[in-house]
Amino acid sequence: MSTQQPAGPLYATAAVDLVKVYGTGATAVRALDGVTVGFTRAEFTAIMGPSGSGKSTLMHCLAGLDTATSGQALLGGTDLTRLADRVLTKVRRERIGFVFQAFNLLPQLTAAQNITLPLDLAGRRPDPELLDYLVTALGLADRLAHRPSELSGGQQQRVALARALVSRPEVVFADEPTGNLDSASGAQVLALLRDAVRDLGQTVVMVTHDATAAAYADRVLLLADGRVSGELDRPGYDAITHALSGQAAAR
């Protein structure tokens, strides 16, 4: 990750002078105030910062879930801000993986069907080796025939993670993926995200408030007031909490 020159093949996803203003006139909120940042391929980045600093907005713009006011949201060489809705939907489905705090599984489908749903929609078959690796690594082998209501929260999030990873998307965006999990389940999800980066070359961008979760990442990007305020390289828990308390003191 770098805050310099984000265009180019090195970056899986990048923001270039990204601005997002919600509303108009006196009530307008400048959620992103000119963010330029690149996310290197095969790297795990955590985005942190105070509530309202623009973390979710940045992720949503980069993932094509929200439209920027100006600037570029690049996925590889594609500027998502220039795509028509129909094309954007296809890009999201075929090139991006998502893991949210709410697991967003379809209740009527089994775990196995939920995992392969995005590939099925795209008319693609899962790579059997990758599917096997993910199901085993996530401890889901004996849960594949279960529906979400028959699974624990941790198991549901692991199904959502397998679904996000099985299509080898260019980027996995994770928004507080451990927010609803107990610490053991959360650690399992974070370890698999880290391993997917190390072993599969997956690019992962995760928004989190949790320094323990962020310590799994290779880099931490700090936002404040809609701008990039800092970046930490392979920080541990202490370095992250120190940077966050520095941010709080500066406010």
Ligand X SMILES: Nc1ncnc2c1ncn2[C@@H]1O[C@H](COP(=O)(O)OP(=O)(O)OP(=O)(O)O)[C@@H](O)[C@H]1O
Binding positions for ligand X, rule: CB under 6 A: 22-23, 29, 31, 49, 51-57
Task: Give the nearest distance from C-beta 1 to ligand X in angstroms.
Answer: 18
Q: Which residue spans within the chain are E strands per DSSP?
A: 11-22, 29-40, 44-48, 70-75, 78-79, 96-99, 171-175, 204-207, 219-224, 227-233
Task: Give the nearest distance from C-beta 29 to ligand X in angstroms.
Answer: 5
Residue of 50, 63, 49 whose CA lies nearest to 18: 63
Determine which helix (DSSP H) or strand (DSSP E) holds 15, and give its type and residue range.
Answer: strand 11-22
- Cα–Cα distance between 214 and 109 in angstroms, integer? 32
**Which tokens sit at 185?**
């389940």
Q: Which residue number, 138 or 176, has a Cβ lying nearer to ligand X?
A: 176
Q: Which residue number, 56 or 212, has a Cβ lying nearer to ligand X?
A: 56
Q: Which residue number, 3 or 69, has a Cβ lying nearer to ligand X?
A: 69
Task: Give the nearest distance from C-beta 60 to ligand X in angstroms.
Answer: 8
Q: Which residue number, 118 or 226, has a Cβ lying nearer to ligand X?
A: 226
- Cα–Cα distance between 151 and 222 in angstroms, integer? 35
Q: Which residue number, 23 or 236, has a Cβ lying nearer to ligand X?
A: 23
- Cα–Cα distance between 17 and 220 in angstroms, integer? 19
Task: Give the nearest distance from C-beta 45 to ligand X in angstroms.
Answer: 15
Task: Give the nearest distance from C-beta 180 to ligand X in angstroms.
Answer: 14
Cβ neighbours of residue 47 closer than 8 Å, sequence gap 6 or more = 55, 58, 59, 205, 206, 207, 208, 220, 221, 223
Task: Give the nearest distance from C-beta 61 to ligand X in angstroms.
Answer: 9
How are strands ordered across the β-sheet holding 78-79?
29-40, 11-22, 70-75, 78-79
Residue of 240, 191, 182 whose CA lies nearest to 46: 240
37: amino acid identity, one letter: V
Q: Which residue number, 25 or 107, has a Cβ lying nearer to ligand X?
A: 25
DSSP character for 27? G
Task: Give the nearest distance from C-beta 22 to ligand X in angstroms.
Answer: 3
- Cα–Cα distance between 41 and 38 in angstroms, integer? 9
Q: Which residue number, 49 or 118, has a Cβ lying nearer to ligand X?
A: 49
